Structure 1
Amino acid sequence: MKTEQENKSTSNRRDFIKTSAIAAAAFMIVPRHVLGGTGYLAPSDRLLVAGIGVGGKGQSDLEMFYKSGKADIAFLCDVDDRRAANSVKAFPKAKYYKDWREMLDKEHKNFDAVSVSTPDHNHAIQALAAMQLGKHVYVQKPLTHDIYEARILTAAAKKYKVVTQMGNQGASNDGPRQMKEWYEAGLIGDVHTVYAWTNRPVWPQGIPWPSKKAEIPKELDWNLWLGTAPEKDYVDKLVPFNWRGWWDYGTGALGDMGCHLIEAPFSVLNLKYAKEVEASVGSVYVDEFKRGYFPESCPPSSHVTLKFPKTNKTKGDVTLHWMDGGIQPERPEELEANETFGDGGNGTLFIGTKGKMMSETYSANPKLLPLSRNKDIKVAPKYARVPDGANGHYKQWVEAAIAGYGKQEVSSPFEIAGPLTEALLMANLAIRSFDIQKTVNGKTTYPGRYTKMLWDNDNMKVTNFDEANQFVKREYRKGWNNLTL
């Protein structure tokens, strides 16, 4: 038997070891500024990131987080091993999963933040699941597929107190800040009309769903790729990119480019939620005499008009025109015949009571019109720039996540990105309503065409054409739970 002295000695050793371990652990997590010196990055100052969707844009996002010098890529998840291959090679220490739900369930204690770069239809359910675990999230544009989803994620960011950022990196460019300074200095008067346009889509749209199914690649988990979308057979060339042109998965040219081109009007004019929307869309010829519309597919071109109520930056309502498929607004009379409008294929134009200004994709290279006005601009910088502009968008989120919720500013938090995304999705609601059919006395009509949709923002519904409300919130496939806070 052990003596009382031996027991006491053993107990002291245990206490010493326990105390030493706690002290060592505490030392490992003290902030860098406490340790002193320059260039030393303590473990607590590094963000551990898990990527959901790690091919293509997802891969480049992860690389930019890593290049910030303050993030490590801890986990990778993708339903397609082919798409994930480059990220697996680039981050060999990161553990790889195919099912994001399994990754979150098993590893959530081992990372701080999640990057979501999957097809649009799965953004919301993946981002919300991460936020409910207290993870900071970076979500590629558009934030969500549906209006309801955007509203849920906007509320979730505040409820779960996590740092959020949408991947419209132009929001961190100097352009939006410079245009705000020009506008607030009164250089173009009060803005009442804005045009935004793109030459996209550059993928197939306005076509029927392929009748021939294809063999599912062995590297692709088709069920996981479908996620919330309806059950369908796999078809050739849908992945990795052409899903954008199908409503079940994508949001068309608006979802792809709208977040880049409409961000500046939201930033400069402090726009929030639209109050009405109407659309006209292009069609294709299915034969020599018949024009066709295919409701499963986004149209080849569209022109949407959104009206926003007066803000603290405007004297009245603001009308915003969106054009895609190569349609452009009338060239401003202040622009010479051979001067580039926007960047040629894309751009944003502000029309005020005293003048006009325009910018390119990502709100880059803003200019007053006529271009001769840009020689003598004397407006002092008022808003802090994001170091490295669009590229700095990633580091900005990393640093804000390390600092913690509410401690540092980001350019596109869900507070801003949510309403911006809703505007794009409201435009899509009007576009999709174009194909709604009604048959009365044997005659087919299209009551949603050329109809101004009036929007009740508080209740998230169109008040004068109820059929359009089916596009506010879709039903997820069986087995994929609907969003709840």
Structure 2
Amino acid sequence: MKKNSKKDKLNGKTTSRRNFIKDSTLATAGVMIVPRYVLGGKGYVAPSDKLNIAGIGVGGRGKDDLAGVYNKGAENIVALCDVDETRAAATFKAYKKAKRYKDFRVMLEQQKDIDAVVIATPDNTHAVAAMAAMQLGKHVYVEKPLAHDIYEARVMTEAARKYNVVTQMGNQGSSWEGTFQVMEWMEAGIIGDVDRVHCWTNRPIWPQGIATPKEKVKVPNTLDWDLWLGPAKWRDYNPAYLPFKWRGWWDFGTGALGDMACHIIDPAFRALKLGYPTAVEASVGLVYVSDFVEGDFPDSCPPSSKIHFDYPARDGMPPVKLIWYDGGIMPERPEELGADEQMGDWNGGLLFEGTKGKIMTDCYGANPRLLPTSSMQYFKQPEKSLKRVPEGHHQNWVKACKGEVKAVSNFDIAGPLTEMILIGNLAIRSYLHKELKPGKKPGDWAPWQYPGRKKLLWDSNNMKVTNFDQANQFVKRDYRDGWSLGV
């Protein structure tokens, strides 16, 4: 029998093997691929068993994500979408047969053979691209953080359930051994009840706390600037925004939290069943442009921040406070850590404080160890109770699309995690929120007051701060005309 030549009778009509797979799915929006063993026995890989995958944002991290799901040809890369020809050039060259697009909306409308989509654009466009794909029944892999604002994360979580698609966020540490070990150690009560967690990172490693550029610069002819802006308000092109530097601008990125918290906080979020905080407060590093005068940089994330998240008792666990540090700020070294021992790793780390001891990990939850570290030579690991992800994070999503496993960082987990992290950004932006003092006018000495410098009480059901209404402007942003979540 020749490959792709088989015809089957299905409900009185002749259909190809690929159409059989699509037609035989229940009439849901999610197109589930029939597992391999159903088609041809264990180990059999029919051409139709390959996912047809499209990439949106395929330079930078997107290039690595595509390589991870492509798996040296085990799947098909059928479409590539990027607004920057220079940035995406290497990926275009790697998948020469894939059709090329600049606008993902055009790609999704025109190319009907797409099963799944990998999204690695700047944070600004994650939600609109993922929603457009999910509404067409496409499985989605979305880089971290899942969304740019709190409302988007909630809508995306609900959409994944509504459209019955397989989802994954690109926080690969959730598939690593260390994360599972932390969860099992907590379940076994190795360090007792945890009431405080410290999370830190060396980010930002790009400019933050800087003025918005004013000079006009010609847009490179290889870049579609309008599409790069996506749903963000219009502003003139400037190389201060891209590539990579977009992370430090509120309209496009989500700062140090958005870059690293989905990696670093994830083990604590899972092991301690955190969900949504009930209160949050922040303080940030300030930049002074002259004596007594703080820099007013509303478009740029601050150079450093410290955030306190309060959680109530839940599932038999006591209340806990999670504290985030970035921009070079770190928690006090625990007494149990040797003076010359490294705290976390270069990217950051995680420290759990319990009634019976402490656990420290590197970034991504890697290399968990008890403190003092000398106690590890006598430590007996608890029995493994959680299923691991030996295939790795990208292939875990691919296998989940084929109905073989469950995606380890699906939106039911990644959505609330992202919301929690973006609540931290809401606190940062509220802290920086300025108002002119009564009786003052611009130009007066010290004319500003900072009403946002307080503990913010969070109502998760309604996604709002209950004691400082002005903070709620950061829950949901307005889109430019022509852009929508489709809800």
Query: Given the two structures, how large is their TM-score scaled by the length of structure 1?
Result: 0.91
- Structure 1 residues 26, 484: CA separation in 2 closer, same or farther (over 3 Å shift)? closer
- Structure 1 residues 32, 436: CA separation in 2 closer, same or farther (over 3 Å shift)? closer
Equivalence for 1:456: 459
Distance 2:10 2:166 in 1: 35
Equivalence for 1:3: none
Equivalence for 2:397: 397
The question of whether the paired residues in 2 share the 8 Å contact of 1:191 and 1:352 is answered with yes
Equivalence for 1:338: 340
Q: Does the alignment pair 1:222 with 2:225?
A: yes
Q: Select between 253-262 and 39-48 the one with higher mean Cα deviation.
A: 39-48
CA positional deviation for 1:439: 2.5
Q: Select between 285-294 and 21-30 the one with higher mean Cα deviation.
A: 21-30
CA positional deviation for 1:36: 4.2
- Structure 1 residues 313, 347: CA separation in 2 closer, same or farther (over 3 Å shift)? farther
Distance 1:471 1:213 in 2: 28
CA positional deviation for 1:17: 12
SS in structure 1 opposite 2:238? Answer: coil
Equivalent residue letter for 2:59? G
Distance 2:271 2:38 in 1: 40
- Structure 1 residues 153, 23: CA separation in 2 closer, same or farther (over 3 Å shift)? closer
CA positional deviation for 1:106: 0.5
1:280 to 260, 277, 283: 283
Q: Select between 447-456 and 119-128 the one with higher mean Cα deviation.
A: 447-456
Kindly report which structure 2 residues correspond to 1:84-123, keeping only aligned pairs within 5 A, or say none: 84-107=88-111, 109-123=112-126
Kindly report which structure 2 residues correspond to 1:270-309, keeping only aligned pairs within 5 A, or say none: 270-309=273-312
SS in structure 2 opposite 1:157? Answer: helix
SS in structure 2 opposite 1:434? Answer: helix
Query: What number of residue pairs does the alignment pair up?
Result: 462
Kindly report which structure 2 residues correspond to 1:311-460, keeping only aligned pairs within 5 A, or say none: 311-312=314-315, 314=317, 316-378=318-380, 379-388=382-391, 392-403=392-403, 408-443=405-440, 444-460=447-463
Equivalence for 2:4: none
* Gaps in structure 1 of 5+ consecutive residues: 1-15
Equivalent residue letter for 1:72? N
CA positional deviation for 1:35: 5.2
Q: Which structure carries more helix by proportion?
A: 1
- Structure 1 residues 177, 313: CA separation in 2 closer, same or farther (over 3 Å shift)? farther
- Structure 1 residues 24, 282: CA separation in 2 closer, same or farther (over 3 Å shift)? closer
Q: CA RMSD in A?
A: 2.2
The question of whether the paired residues in 2 share the 8 Å contact of 1:280 and 1:449 is answered with no
Distance 2:301 2:175 in 1: 29
CA positional deviation for 1:414: 0.6
Equivalence for 1:130: 133
The question of whether the paired residues in 1 share the 8 Å contact of 2:452 and 2:468 is answered with no
Identity of aligned residues (%): 56
SS in structure 1 opposite 2:402? Answer: helix
CA offsets per residue over residues 317-361 of structure 1, 9 Å max, x none? 211100000000000000010011111451011111111101111
The question of whether the paired residues in 2 share the 8 Å contact of 1:28 and 1:43 is answered with no
The question of whether the paired residues in 2 share the 8 Å contact of 1:302 and 1:431 is answered with yes
The question of whether the paired residues in 1 share the 8 Å contact of 2:427 and 2:456 is answered with yes
Query: Given the two structures, how large is their TM-score scaled by the length of structure 2?
Result: 0.90
CA positional deviation for 1:449: 4.1
Equivalence for 1:11: none
Distance 1:434 1:45 in 2: 51
Distance 2:314 2:47 in 1: 44
CA positional deviation for 1:241: 0.8
* Gaps in structure 2 of 5+ consecutive residues: 1-7, 22-33, 441-446
Distance 1:69 1:20 in 2: 35
Equivalent residue letter for 1:50? A
- Structure 1 residues 308, 70: CA separation in 2 closer, same or farther (over 3 Å shift)? farther
